[in-house]
Amino acid sequence: MRTRKGFAILGLATVLAGMSACTATGSSGGDDGGKVTLSVWSWRPEDAATYKQIFAEFHAAHPNITVDFKPYKSTEYNTILSTGLTQAGGPDVMQLRSYGLAQPLIQAGNLVALDGKVTGLANFDPTALDGARGKQDHKVYGVPLEMSTFQIYYNKDIFSKYGVTPPTTWDQMIADAKTLQGKGITPFAAAGKDTWLLPLYDDAFAATRYGGPAFEGKVLGGKAKFTDPDYVAALDVMNQLKPYFPKDQMGLAETDVQTLFATGKAAMIPEGSFALAPMKAINPNLNLGVFNAPPAPGALVSNPLEVGWVDASYGLSAKSKHQKEALELLQWMTTADFGHLVADDLKQVSLIKGVQSADPLLGQMVQDYTAAPTPYLMLVDFRYGTPLGSDLEAAGLQKMLLGQQSASQVAGDIQNGISQWFTP
């Protein structure tokens, strides 16, 4: 009872702060004149130095607000955040996971809805805002920070050495893979120990087979199931590619395959836009290109698709004592200025309309995604209940590649698990 009253008071305070913030956004050095330090939490310790510069720019424009950036280890962040938001000493503004993974915080009332309080949300596509949208109240709880795309990188030097070109047809891709294998080079550096990559591999290679966004629409509308022949066939595409994956795939983690690729032992790697920086760190001389897999045999979509999803947003804690200043910071995070800092300094794909990346490779990824997008289906739509769709597909694909399950069994498990909480 007492906590409920507390939430009501907080909610009221939030609304009041929000109203004043609407008039105050953009202006700095208010009459209150009080200096405020905002605590900002993130799961990117590797970006700490960059964020220091970014928030220094914010401080220059808003001299009364100082930002204290506190990164935590990515794998422990969810736990730390969920306790931090309910206790004293928590963050004012914090990085949020996307889609279903943001829901527990939203449903527990830990976050402040930003609709009408951050006018800059208009600078984003509605699909970009879905990443931090409450599944039940459809309100937006976060300012989208960046998105990830997933595609196939190739080593240009190895390709030209063996006279291989980026494939335009599936048959050519398989022929390329055979040529490379004949030269003792692993065609695709695919990991199997970090199972979360497996559903992404399937989307990257076979979204064309099940129909990409069209299938998404059908399955959300209850007109298709994962046990449908097209989805089963798309899962089976991984079996066809298995000969061109490393033979010890199930023993290899993501860092292992990144190293295989960056050191020239593998010619191609299905990876995310987020892997560009780490792979360049292993080998700065890496000469890279990207392409999307040509339509798989029997594909329902006749052009290559690029997988993409919102990765992170910044949200506002309901417990923050500095709602007005926090909203000012969030408003700033919707500006093109901030978007360019994300693209050029953080080297991520910003979602703010009209912001282009200076890195040609990242630029191409954005372009390809805008031209022919397909969702990371299991993350975008099937993480709103447990078991998560991504977990079901990851565990199933691993068993399939180990020869313990067939594609239709995997599909059956996915359908069975998801139908426990998902109603079209």
The footprint of another protein (CB under 8 A) covers 3, 78-79, 82-83, 85-86, 100-101, 103-105, 107-110, 192-196, 246, 248-253, 256, 259-260, 265, 383, 385-388, 390-392, 394-395, 398-399, 402, 404, 413, 416-417, 420
Return the number of the residue (306 or 311) whose C-beta is nearest another protein.
311
Cβ partners under 8 Å of residue 286, min gap 6: 155, 262, 279, 280
Q: Residue 192 Cβ, how far from another protein at the closest point, in Å?
A: 6
Q: Residue 105 Cβ, how far from another protein at the closest point, in Å?
A: 6
Q: Residue 83 Cβ, how far from another protein at the closest point, in Å?
A: 8
Q: Which of 355, 359, 373 is nearest to 292 (CA)?
A: 373
Return the number of the residue (367 or 404) whose C-beta is nearest another protein.
404
Pairing of strands 288-291, 143-155: antiparallel
Q: Which helix (H) or strand (E) holds 201?
A: helix 197-210
Tokens of 27: 């202006």
Tokens of 415: 């359908």
Task: Give 26's Cβ-side CA count (13 Å radius).
Answer: 8
DSSP designation for 246: -
Q: Residue 140 Cβ, how far from another protein at the closest point, in Å?
A: 18
Return the number of the residue (101 or 277) whose C-beta is nearest another protein.
101
Cβ partners under 8 Å of residue 40, min gap 6: 51, 55, 67, 68, 69, 70, 91, 92, 93, 94, 314, 329
Return the number of the residue (100 or 167) whose C-beta is nearest another protein.
100
DSSP designation for 253: -
Return the number of the residue (90 or 308) whose C-beta is nearest another protein.
90
Q: Residue 198 Cβ, how far from another protein at the closest point, in Å?
A: 10
Q: Which of 303, 132, 275, 298 is nearest to 213 (CA)?
A: 303
Return the number of the residue (25 or 249) whose C-beta is nearest another protein.
249
Q: Residue 386 Cβ, how far from another protein at the closest point, in Å?
A: 4
Q: Which of 361, 372, 384 is nearest to 279 (CA)?
A: 361
Return the number of the residue (167 or 199) whose C-beta is nearest another protein.
199
Whether residue 387 is preceded by a cis peptide bond, meaning omega within 30 degrees of 0, is yes
Helix, strand or coil, per DSSP, at residue 266: strand
DSSP designation for 187: E
CB 304 within 8 A of CB 372: yes
Q: Residue 402 Cβ, how far from another protein at the closest point, in Å?
A: 5
Return the number of the residue (10 or 361) whose C-beta is nearest another protein.
10
Q: Residue 48 Cβ, how far from another protein at the closest point, in Å?
A: 23
Return the number of the residue (32 or 248) whose C-beta is nearest another protein.
248
d(CA 231, CA 411): 8
Q: What are phi and psi of 309, to 5 degrees?
A: -160, 155
First to last CA, the chain: 35
Return the number of the residue (149 or 398) whose C-beta is nearest another protein.
398
Q: Residue 106 Cβ, how far from another protein at the closest point, in Å?
A: 8
Return the number of the residue (211 or 389) whose C-beta is nearest another protein.
389
CB 40 within 8 A of CB 92: yes
Q: Residue 181 Cβ, how far from another protein at the closest point, in Å?
A: 16
Q: What is the dihedral of CA 332, 131, 37, 23, to 10 degrees?
A: 50
CB 78 within 8 A of CB 84: no
Cβ partners under 8 Å of residue 175, min gap 6: 167
Q: Residue 34 Cβ, how far from another protein at the closest point, in Å?
A: 31
Q: What are phi and psi of 353, to 5 degrees?
A: -55, 135
